[in-house]
């Protein structure tokens, strides 16, 4: 029995290594996809194959176990890892197609998709949806004076500040060069909406430090409600956009509702 001890120890160590790999691969995965499951099962089976082969050789020494069977877990691992890489690539591609690369916010395409679903839900539940179009005042002047790099930093900082006031049900998207659009679902009343919009206005009016120097930032916000101001997607978005331009015409750095003159 002593002569088998080193062999048993080495097989046990290999089994522990691959079973540990299965556990680590599974828990470290961001999502439990088919590739992750396949690779984890492959690693686990690979680990189990060592004590299984050892037990077979001791219990049924007259019959040689086909090595191809013991190698099957390796193919599971390879296929699983390849599937995982492919799934991650597809996920990244889909994310790039639906998000703005500068701010990492949803882009116009994703916003419109969410707006359709949210308005349909609000129509069924008879709740209010608010659409806010937010635009940076004098953004062209900032770009011309400080450069496009400074403009990009300003937009990234503003995206973070506006996100502070979003709930999980809401969505904030970058829908143009210096334009953001927010969708607020389930707004209780106009006072609640004015409070949120006012908080956004305050957050967007604090100077941003760029290259060690404060840069003044001002925004204009146009607000439209469904069903009060519009009952379809295009009309709601257009009403909020027109309200934003109305705020700019009145000097900017303010918010305006669609039904205000």
The C-alpha atoms of residue 41 and residue 22 are separated, in whole angstroms, by: 7
- What pLDDT, on the 0 to 100 scale, is given for residue 1? 46
- Catalytically annotated residue among 178, 211, 234, 261: 178
The C-alpha atoms of residue 236 and residue 100 are separated, in whole angstroms, by: 22
> Strand 179-185 vs strand 129-136: parallel, antiparallel, or unpaired?
antiparallel
Q: What is the mean pLDDT of residues 171-186?
A: 90
pTM, two decimal places:
0.67
The yes-or-no answer on residue 100 being catalytic is no
- What pLDDT, on the 0 to 100 scale, is given for residue 261? 61
The C-alpha atoms of residue 233 and residue 31 are separated, in whole angstroms, by: 33
Structure tokens, 54: 């050892």
Residue 146: name the closest of 204, 200, 209, 100 by CA: 209
The C-alpha atoms of residue 233 and residue 235 are separated, in whole angstroms, by: 6
Q: What's the pLDDT tens digit per position in 43-60?
A: 998 888 888 888 877 788
159 or 4: which leads in pLDDT: 159
pLDDT at 70 over 60: yes
pLDDT at 153 over 90: yes
- What pLDDT, on the 0 to 100 scale, is given for residue 2? 45
């Amino acid at each position: 029995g002593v002569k088998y001890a080193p062999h048993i120890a080495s097989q046990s160590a290999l089994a522990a290594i691959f079973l540990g790999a299965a556990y680590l691969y599974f828990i470290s995965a961001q999502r439990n996809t088919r590739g992750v499951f396949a690779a984890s099962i492959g690693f686990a089976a690979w680990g189990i194959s060592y004590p299984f082969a050892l037990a077979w050789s001791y219990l049924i020494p007259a019959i040689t176990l086909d090595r191809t069977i013991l190698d099957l877990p390796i193919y599971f691992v390879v296929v699983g890892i390849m599937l995982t890489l492919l799934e991650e690539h597809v996920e990244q591609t889909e994310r790039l197609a639906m998000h703005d690369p500068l701010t990492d916010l949803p882009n116009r395409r994703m916003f419109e998709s969410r707006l359709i679903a949210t308005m349909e839900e609000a129509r069924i539940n008879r709740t209010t949806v608010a659409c806010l179009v937010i635009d940076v005042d004098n953004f062209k002047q900032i770009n011309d004076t400080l450069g496009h790099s400074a403009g990009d930093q300003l937009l990234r900082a503003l995206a973070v500040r506006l996100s502070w006031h979003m709930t999980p049900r809401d969505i904030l998207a970058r829908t143009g060069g210096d334009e953001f659009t927010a969708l607020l679902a389930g707004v209780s009343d106009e006072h609640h909406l004015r409070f949120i919009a006012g908080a956004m206005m305050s957050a967007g009016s604090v100077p941003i430090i760029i290259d060690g120097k404060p840069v003044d930032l001002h925004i204009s916000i146009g607000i439209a409600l469904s069903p009060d101001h519009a009952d379809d997607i295009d009309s709601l978005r257009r009403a909020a956009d027109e309200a934003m331009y109305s705020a700019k015409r009145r000097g900017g750095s303010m918010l305006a509702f669609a039904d205000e003159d």
